[in-house]
Amino acid sequence: MAPMTTAGEEMYALVERLYPLCRSITGDGVRATLEIVGEYVPLQVHEVPTGTPVLDWTVPQEWNIRDAYIADSTGRRVVDFAESSLHVLGYSVPVSATMPLAELRGHLHTLPDHPSWVPYRTSYYQPEWGFCLAQETLDALPDGEYEVRIDSTLADGHLTYAEHVVPGQVADEVIVSCHVCHPSLANDNLAGIAVAVFLARALAERTPYYTYRFIFAPGTIGAITWLARNAERVERVRHGLVLACAGDPGRLTYKRSRRGDAEIDRVLRHVLAASERPHHIAEFTPYGYDERQYCSPGFDLGVGSLSRTPYAGYPEYHTSADNLDFVSPEAMADTLAVCREAFAVLDRNRRYVNLSPYGEPQLGRRGLYDSLGGRSDAKEAQMAMLWVLSLSDGEHSLLDVAERSGLPFGAVAAAADALRGAELIKV
């Protein structure tokens, strides 16, 4: 894996490539996005036909758009989809008409509090059409007739999502999920996609303990579709993480799973606290990203969500100001580093049984004390061995040991490796 500074720059370059594409919950924009992601990690792409029942939902019609604009009486495009995919209300039905500004206003969306920004708006499940534009653009439009054109199709097709699997030593799975349905929004989904891609590449450099399944799917309907099509696989999911808003300058935020005390919750809390990064631990709410689908009571998976500033927590959220200037290589590299640290803990967190539980075993004659000679952390390593021996009763995990002893998880895991090598403990 490239150094973090290089990884940050490469993630930013991926965000730049994906930024211009018009994504939605279905359509060619999603396919084009996954095609680019597939250049970085191999993907298994799934196409689910319109009308397919998925839990309490149905796969919707597929939406595609080629062009859209509002033109004044001179033919000048005053709003142009070619300049930004945000300019069209997502899932707009086709329209070709000429109408006065007074009539057109009912189909226009702006942000009066941020007059230079363009909002992101959608109308997925009810037929509608509209445009999004800056308030200052609207204010400058004179009364008169305007040509309105949306060259789109809404027809039976498919919902597209993709998976990438990093094989592990066991079939038990960790899922990492990110949404691929937003158009030109750099932080709210592109940064999450980029971090997921480079996390997958980092995990593939070794053989992890768990099998890691990366899910690139449209928000809500995509996760629901995956869950509906993977009922048997869900039984193997032990942990999970939803990635979103991964590249802004804010502090890291971890949102707990619905359970609140799932192992992934404890691991992220421990890693963030030990790192001394500015961070916030948020309680679960049934609103947000796709953690709410994975954590729905019928599944109740141990899936949390990691972001920087949470959804709707920054003014730029769902606006044209969530652009390439709003995210940074450094922020994405920091998010990636926390993910790697967390999964390193998750992968090594085991429960052990002390094979010499009656009294303290003699470490010296097994060469365990000799191995500490000259180490600057010899005292810490010795205490880690004693703590692991003390709590290896089949009930306590290494994370329990680290939290109770106050020792770094890495020191505790290294002690466990040494003790297992000396046949003093077993998994």
Geometric angle at alpha carbon 132, from 127 and 137, rounded to 5°: 145
CATH 1.10.10.10 in the chain is located at 351-426
Q: Is there a binding annotation on residue 188?
A: yes
| CATH superfamily of the domain spanning 4-60+158-348 | Zn peptidases (3.40.630.10)
How many Å from the N-terminal Cα to the C-terminal Cα in the chain?
30
Residue 154, number of CB atoms within 10 A of its CB: 18
What is the spatial distance between Cα 190 and Cα 182, in angstroms, rounded to a whole number? 8
d(CA 174, CA 303): 9
pLDDT attached to residue 380: 86
Strands 425-426 and 351-354: antiparallel
User: Which CATH number applies to 62-155?
Assistant: 3.50.30.90
Model-wide pTM > 0.75: yes
348: closest CA among 244, 209, 217, 222?
209
Query: Is 182 marked as a binding-site residue?
Result: yes
Dist CA 178 CA 191 (whole Å): 10
pLDDT band at 3 (very low <50, low <70, confident <90, very high): low
Quote the mean pLDDT of the chain. Answer: 95
Q: How does DSSP classify residue 266?
A: H
Residue 46 exposed, middle or buried by CB count within 10 Å (0-12, 13-18, 19+): middle
pLDDT in tens, 19-35: 999 999 999 999 999 99
CATH number 3.40.50.300 given to 351-426: no
Summarised one tens digit per residue, pLDDT across range 53-93 is 999 999 999 999 999 999 999 999 999 999 999 999 999 99
Query: Which helix H or strand E contains 351, and what residues bound it?
Result: strand 351-354
- 248 annotated as a binding-site residue: no
| 107, burial (CB in 10 Å: exposed 0-12, middle 13-18, buried 19+) | middle
The band of 177, judged by pLDDT with boundaries at 50, 70 and 90, is very high
Q: How far apart are the C-alpha atoms of 150 and 148, rounded to whole Å?
A: 7
Which range in 238-242, 403-407, 408-412 is most confidently predicted, on average pLDDT?
238-242
Q: Start-end ranges of CATH 3.40.630.10 in the chain?
A: 4-60+158-348
Residue 7 has pLDDT above 80, yes or no: yes
Q: How far apart are CA 10 and CA 3, in angstroms?
A: 11
pLDDT exceeds 80 at position 395: yes
- Residue 370's pLDDT is 63
pLDDT value at residue 2? 57
In the chain, CATH 3.50.30.90 sits at 62-155
Tell me the C-alpha distance between 286 and 292, whole Å: 5
Instruction: Report pLDDT digits (tens) over 323-359.
Output: 999 999 999 999 999 999 999 999 999 999 999 999 9
pLDDT digits (tens, 9 = 90+) for 153-170: 999 999 999 999 999 999
Q: Which stretches of 170-236 are DSSP H helices?
A: 192-203, 221-229, 231-234
The answer to whether 145 and 102 are in contact (CB under 8 A) is no
Q: CA-CA distance, 397 to 187, in Å (whole number)? A: 36
